[in-house]
Amino acid sequence: MTATGIGAPVRRKEDQRFVTGQGRYVDDFNRPGQSYAYFLRSPHAHAVIRSIDTGPARTMPGVVAVLTGDDLAADKIGGLICGWMIHSKDGSPMKAGPHPALAQGKVRYVGDHVAVVIAESLAQAKDAAEAITVDYEVLPAVVDTAQASKAPVQVHDISPDNTVFNWHLGNKDETEAAFARAKHVTKIDLVNNRLIPNAIEPRAAVGEYDPGTDSYTLYTTSQNPHVARLVLSAFIGVAPEHKLRVIAPDVGGGFGSKIFIYAEETICVWAAKKVKRPVKWTADRTEAFLSDAHGRDHVTHAEMATDESGKILGLRVHTTANLGAYLSTFASSIPTYLYAPLLSGQYDIPAIYCEVDGVYTNTAPVDAYRGAGRPEATFVVERLVEKTARELGQDSAAFRRKNFVTHFPHQTPVIMAYDTGDYAASLDKALELADYKNFQQRKQESARRGKLRGIGFSSYIEACGIAPSQAVGSLGAGVGLWESAEVRVNPTGSVEVLTGSHSHGQGHETTFAQLVSDRLGISIDQVSIVHGDTDKVQFGMGTYGSRSGAVGMSAIAKALDKVIAKGKKVAAHVLEASEGDIEFKDGKFGVAGTDRTLGFGEVALQAYIAHKFSGQDLEPGLKEGAFYDPTNFTFPAGVHICEVEIDPGTGVTKIERWTAVDDFGVIINPMIVEGQVHGGIAQGVGQALLEGAVYDQSGQLITASFNDYCMPRAIDLPSFQVGMTVTPCPSNPLGIKGCGEAGAIAAPPAVINAITDALGHEDIAMPATPQAVWRAAQKTRMPTAAE
Amino acid sequence: MYAFEYHRPTSIREAANLANQSEDIKFLAGGHTLLPTMKLRLASPANLIDLGQIAELRGIERSGDAIVIGAMTKHAEVANSAVVREAIPALANLAELIGDPHVRNRGTIGGSIANNDPSADYPAACLALNATIATDKRRIAADDFFQGIFTTALGEGEIITQISFPIPLRAAYAKFRHPASRYALVGVFVAQHTGGVRLAVTGAGSNGVFRIAAMEEALSRNFVAESLDGISAPMDEMNSDIHADAAYRAHLVGVMARRAVQAAARG
């Protein structure tokens, strides 16, 4: 390991600019002649638009244009798309309703886009938007996930029962047979609460058109600029792919919400040509609440069958997933292929059957949010495992251990083939760090103070590094999920890495440079990471699903191998040795068995001056590219243990201890990994205790500001005990599994298992707010000090 | 935000004259309610009169048996005031619990009570401490000042100049924060005066800050938390929303009242 190589806790290179205000975010870009877009949004959850009168607005001061869905239709601009085809049990394709970037005839959620005003200033655009008259015929709305398919309201014509698909996975017959021979069946009903992502930087876009070259530029808050360009060109049709440059500069958090291709960004590109001016839009926080794709929102009934010894025989799950008013870019894949294949958890479960009904409602679209399907699956498995252990009177840890997968590879009944892991090792380490053996003592001490203490486990698994293109293609993905890299070595020996991954907080400028440092033996200060610009970087798939280490860095590793191979050829010519005798070690190319060496920088210079070889026998230059497609998903896994103390007088739940032992495979930068774990736990605790999007029955979003939507704060969290175990991932050259989502996946069931342990009953939903816990604690018999 | 005229007087007289001569005015104190409301286009005064340059509206002093605080004094100044800490520590503690450091260094006591947000902290202190609110025109007892949600005895163009808090024998404020906003979901201020106990509740009431006579009488007889046993807050006067329904709020009033009494008794 070099001082800045793989495994070194290097401080993040990018933080200097972030913490000193030198970052460049989309809103920091201002183009000459720029105009401002403001979207008139629907105040109704469901309404027919009888007419829109934009006449008075057009004459308002500073107004450049007022555009509606009619203008989009006249320009033959396509609708927004959902890029993952799901088929129902009967083989029929999912029912995707139209999703125009500006409403055409109907609005389907509060915040839906009705018109856009483009003006000299944002204030003028807002003034003009108030002068637009929309004649709405307000319709009843459906917001409730569980009731959507039965509601007398139809969100889309294509789907009379508001159902997008009735999908299933697993083997129904084998599962029924397992339940038939079970000694015990545990049942649970769960709601996975709807979340609003709230990245610190709201979405923003600047669209620009150059009539001289007939080309477009879009500055946008994207996690995957090439995918945005592909969708905007090939499907929506606002600009040809080769004439559209998408730039995603510094991006202040995504958590999934910036994967998707939204109406506003689309409109900025389209309108820039129409008004012949750059068009800028920056969401305010209210718009972010209303129109960013939300996460989760499942209603589930699940059952677990066990035999007389407490071995799990089978699992059956029925989930209704609220997809909102329109299918967002990857919405259909989240509650299906990113959900049900994780239902085996860390356990050897012989039979699993899962049904998922995706439904439309008059709410904001729902799509991937940190974890994306896997937190929902983990919540089902870990709540059910916990409840089963309690019903069987078995120790929670012992019950899990008894059912762990112990032999690898392990084929689950739900697609996934786990490659490697040591779940018992993580559990052992977590039990020790959490001081599990003295928990009862702490519980009694809390009881003496009139408090309820509980402990909760979460033995999670996730599928990351998404994934082999062939596999996801067979499951309905519209794209491949490989990654690309190009390594450009400069004549001075410094290195630029062009990556298809995109950093929006993950620290790629540091970790990716560490890989280069490790392989080439140069300092990370000699390495620049370039990403987020389709004019600079080759096509890439972007960052989500904890894939940038396992897939993005593997592509870089592959390109680095090619650079070293080419460097050996150059060195052979310069050192007048046979290529086969050249070794590359510690940043030096040398002739085996001699002391003749060339430094990496010297070889770089020789490659470009090409004085020591002819361009006929060896091409000048040192630049290599690679595309990497993994052979499997990766399977990070671990154990989180949460210990809470509840004040039954107020219902306040205080997290006293948090232990996380994760197996992320090989770790590039332990400091960054710990940071990812901390942030993920914070978001998971947010879901469990604090966050929850609430719509009223008319479809108004009640939690549309931070006054009502409660984000986690530092004071809500304890100091985390983070430990690691390592089983290197065999399906990529670096042994990386991924760490970005683990905390958010692991945390919610750990918290709720701890609260239900403290309460002594299972009747608490997320978010377990003080009010909810206080009410639940009414049913709890207070322990006496003697207990 | 809509366009408006901005005025910055340097004396109370100048501010009052501006208010008299202008249409559709709002006074700007710390601006932590008014400015966001204006940015969201929910308020659109034609004239904004900024009181921030009026030196005579600021300051804290002890005047006989009372602490007198200028209306434009910031929460952080009250929280950090040695004079307040010494005479009415509960009031300094309350100021320290308002919002976050940004809010405490902009928000003012006068702005808070003039707005009379049903979840604000200061109204509870004013009622329980039997404060007198002085304006450029008159002096108003706290009991007469707060008249329901966002409603006060202030007349059009009337400017709060200072608030006078009689120093109690002992007092304490117990606040249960709203999980999201950090306003008071329920806040109870209790103060024992030579003439008896006053107890005021903010955050919980559907009609803003209020006193609970039964609790005051019980505590006046015996200033211990146990005196509150069996006395419940009036459920039908409780606010109810997604964060806390009336039953929970009523329950919390009892819990916070006990905790306030215990804290006051501890000193």
Provide the pLDDT confidence category of residue A237 given band limits of 50, 70 and 90. Answer: very high
A724 and A669, same structural domain?
yes
Provide the pLDDT confidence category of residue A615 given band limits of 50, 70 and 90. Answer: confident
Residue B169 in contact with partner chain A when CB distance is under 8 A: no
Residue B170 DSSP class? E
Please name the residue of chain B whose CA is at the shortest distance from the CA of residue A693.
B242
A624 and A641, same structural domain?
no
Which residues, other chains included, contact B15 with Cβ-Cβ below 8 Å and sequence gap of 6+? B9, B27, B49, B51, B54, B136, B159
In a domain, A12, yes or no: no
Contact A771 B255 (CB under 8 A): no
pLDDT at residue A782, as a whole number: 66
Neighbour count for residue B259 (Cβ, 10 Å) = 20
Residue A546 DSSP class? T
Sign of CA dihedral A480, A737, A388, A648: negative
Contact A710 B180 (CB under 8 A): yes
In a domain, A3, yes or no: no
Least CB-CB distance to A710: which of B41, B179, B244? B179
Contact B251 A774 (CB under 8 A): yes
What is the rounded radius of gyration, in angstroms, for the C-alpha atoms of chain A? 27
Of A17, A8, A4, nearest to A524 by C-alpha is A4
Which residues, other chains included, contact B101 with Cβ-Cβ below 8 Å and sequence gap of 6+? B76
* CATH assignment, B1-54: 3.30.43.10
Considering A591, A610, A628, which residue would you say is the last residue of a domain? A628
Q: What angle do CA A35, A40, A45 make, to 5 degrees?
A: 155
The tokens describing A609, both together, are 């001056």
In a domain, A180, yes or no: no
Kindly list the residues from chain A whose CB atom is less than 8 angstroms away from the CB atom of residue B251: 774
pLDDT at residue A787, as a whole number: 41
Contact B242 A708 (CB under 8 A): yes
With beta carbons less than 8 A apart as the criterion, state whether A280 and A116 touch. Answer: no
Provide the pLDDT confidence category of residue A467 given band limits of 50, 70 and 90. Answer: confident
With beta carbons less than 8 A apart as the criterion, state whether A178 and A3 touch. Answer: no
Contact A708 B244 (CB under 8 A): no
A312 and A284, same structural domain?
no
* Residue scoring higher pLDDT (B12 or A468): B12
Which residues, other chains included, contact A242 with Cβ-Cβ below 8 Å and sequence gap of 6+? none
pLDDT above 80 (res A242): yes
- The C-alpha atoms of residue A708 and residue B181 are separated, in whole angstroms, by 7
Where are the domains positioned within chain B? 1-54, 170-266
Considering A606, A628, A650, which residue would you say is the last residue of a domain? A628
Contact B244 A775 (CB under 8 A): no
- The single-letter code of the amino acid at A270 is W
Q: Beta strand pairing status for A279-282 and B5-7?
A: unpaired
Which residues, other chains included, contact A414 with Cβ-Cβ below 8 Å and sequence gap of 6+? A169, A170, A340, A341, A342, A343, A344, A352, A354
Least CB-CB distance to B243: which of A126, A706, A771? A771
Mean pLDDT of A468-492: 94
CA dihedral B186, B187, B191, B197 (to 10 degrees): -10
A225 and A283, same structural domain?
yes
Kindly list the residues from chain B whose CB atom is less than 8 angstroms away from the CB atom of residue A123: 1
Nearest-CA distance B1 → chain A (Å): 7
pLDDT at residue B202, as a whole number: 98
Nearest-CA distance A3 → chain B (Å): 40
Kindly list the residues from chain B whose CB atom is less than 8 angstroms away from the CB atom of residue A647: none
Kindly list the residues from chain B whose CB atom is less than 8 angstroms away from the CB atom of residue A773: none
Q: Chain A to chain B, count of Cβ pairs less than 8 Å apart?
A: 37
Of A673, A662, A660, nearest to A637 by C-alpha is A662
- The single-letter code of the amino acid at A185 is V
- The C-alpha atoms of residue A451 and residue B109 are separated, in whole angstroms, by 36
What is the rounded radius of gyration, in angstroms, for the C-alpha atoms of chain B? 18
Please name the residue of chain B whose CA is at the shortest distance from the CA of residue A704.
B180
Kindly list the residues from chain B whose CB atom is less than 8 angstroms away from the CB atom of residue A286: 40
Where do we find the tokens 């969100």? A155
Contact B179 A769 (CB under 8 A): yes
Please name the residue of chain B whose CA is at the shortest distance from the CA of residue A286.
B40
Q: pLDDT tens across A45-87, in order?
A: 999 999 999 999 999 999 999 999 999 999 999 999 999 999 9
Of A311, A145, A112, A327, nearest to A235 by C-alpha is A327
Residue B248 in contact with partner chain A when CB distance is under 8 A: yes
What is the domain count for chain A? 3
Of A551, A502, A541, nearest to A227 by C-alpha is A541
In a domain, A144, yes or no: no
Residue B228 in contact with partner chain A when CB distance is under 8 A: no
SS (H, E, C) A294-345: EECCEEEEEEEEECCCCCEEEEEEEEEEECCCCCCCCHHHCCCCCCHHHCCC
Beta strands in A56-162 (DSSP E): 63-68, 106-107, 113-119, 133-138
State the alpha helices, DSSP H only, in A392-525.
Answer: 396-403, 423-433, 439-448, 469-474, 508-520
Residue B172 in contact with partner chain A when CB distance is under 8 A: no
pLDDT above 70 (res B167): yes
A559 and A432, same structural domain?
no
Please name the residue of chain A whose CA is at the shortest distance from the CA of residue B246.
A771
Where do we find the tokens 């040192």? A622
Nearest-CA distance A710 → chain B (Å): 4
Element (H, E) at A355: strand A351-359
Please name the residue of chain A whose CA is at the shortest distance from the CA of residue B99.
A707
pLDDT at residue B30, as a whole number: 96
Contact B255 A650 (CB under 8 A): yes
- The C-alpha atoms of residue B71 and residue B60 are separated, in whole angstroms, by 10
Kindly list the residues from chain B whose CB atom is less than 8 angstroms away from the CB atom of residue A709: 180
- The C-alpha atoms of residue A40 and residue A112 are separated, in whole angstroms, by 8
Domain that holds residue A664: 298-466+632-777
Neighbour count for residue A530 (Cβ, 10 Å) = 15
A454 and A381, same structural domain?
yes
In a domain, A454, yes or no: yes
A425 and A494, same structural domain?
no
Contact B243 A708 (CB under 8 A): yes
pLDDT at residue A424, as a whole number: 97
Residues B64-90 as b or e (16 or more Cβ within 10 Å = b)? eebbbbbbbbbbbbbbebeebeebbbb
Kindly list the residues from chain A whose CB atom is less than 8 angstroms away from the CB atom of residue B41: 126
Kindly list the residues from chain B whose CB atom is less than 8 angstroms away from the CB atom of residue A702: 242
Mean pLDDT of chain A: 96
pLDDT at residue A465, as a whole number: 85
In a domain, A720, yes or no: yes
Three-state SS at A428: helix
A608 and A582, same structural domain?
yes
Mean pLDDT of A557-574: 98
- Which of B100, B103, B242, B256 to mutate to test binding with chain A, by most A CBs within 10 Å of its CB? B242
Please name the residue of chain B whose CA is at the shortest distance from the CA of residue A695.
B242
Residue B180 in contact with partner chain A when CB distance is under 8 A: yes
Phi, psi for residue A240 in degrees, rounded to 5: -70, 150
- Which of B39, B44, B177, B248 to mutate to test binding with chain A, by most A CBs within 10 Å of its CB? B248
Considering A579, A612, A628, which residue would you say is the last residue of a domain? A628
- Is the previous residue joined to A409 through a cis bond, with omega within 30 degrees of 0? yes
Please name the residue of chain A whose CA is at the shortest distance from the CA of residue B253.
A650
Please report, rounded to a whole number, the percentage of residues in chain B having pLDDT higher than 90.
97
Looking up residue A363, the CATH number of its domain turns out to be 3.30.365.10
Nearest-CA distance A723 → chain B (Å): 30
pLDDT above 90 (res B266): no
A453 and A516, same structural domain?
no
The tokens describing A442, both together, are 């702490």
Provide the pLDDT confidence category of residue A466 given band limits of 50, 70 and 90. Answer: confident
A342 and A286, same structural domain?
no
Which residues, other chains included, contact A357 with Cβ-Cβ below 8 Å and sequence gap of 6+? A149, A163, A165, A166, A167, A318, A319, A320, A321
Contact A702 B1 (CB under 8 A): no
Pick the CATH number of B170-266 from 3.40.50.2000, 3.30.420.40, 3.30.230.10, 3.30.390.50: 3.30.390.50
Provide the pLDDT confidence category of residue A781 given band limits of 50, 70 and 90. Answer: confident
Please name the residue of chain B whose CA is at the shortest distance from the CA of residue A696.
B242
Mean pLDDT of A424-441: 98
Q: pLDDT tens across A394-419, in order?
A: 999 999 999 999 999 999 999 999 99
pLDDT at residue A783, as a whole number: 58
A271 and A306, same structural domain?
no
Phi, psi for residue A126 in degrees, rounded to 5: -65, -45
Residue B181 in contact with partner chain A when CB distance is under 8 A: yes
Which residues, other chains included, contact B168 with Cβ-Cβ below 8 Å and sequence gap of 6+? B88, B129, B191, B192, B193
A82 and A230, same structural domain?
yes
Q: pLDDT tens across A342-392, in order?
A: 999 999 999 999 999 999 999 999 999 999 999 999 999 999 999 999 999
pLDDT at residue A786, as a whole number: 43
Q: What angle do CA A758, A759, A762 make, to 5 degrees?
A: 115
Sign of CA dihedral A663, A665, A670, A674: negative
- The C-alpha atoms of residue A672 and residue A654 are separated, in whole angstroms, by 26
Three-state SS at B41: coil
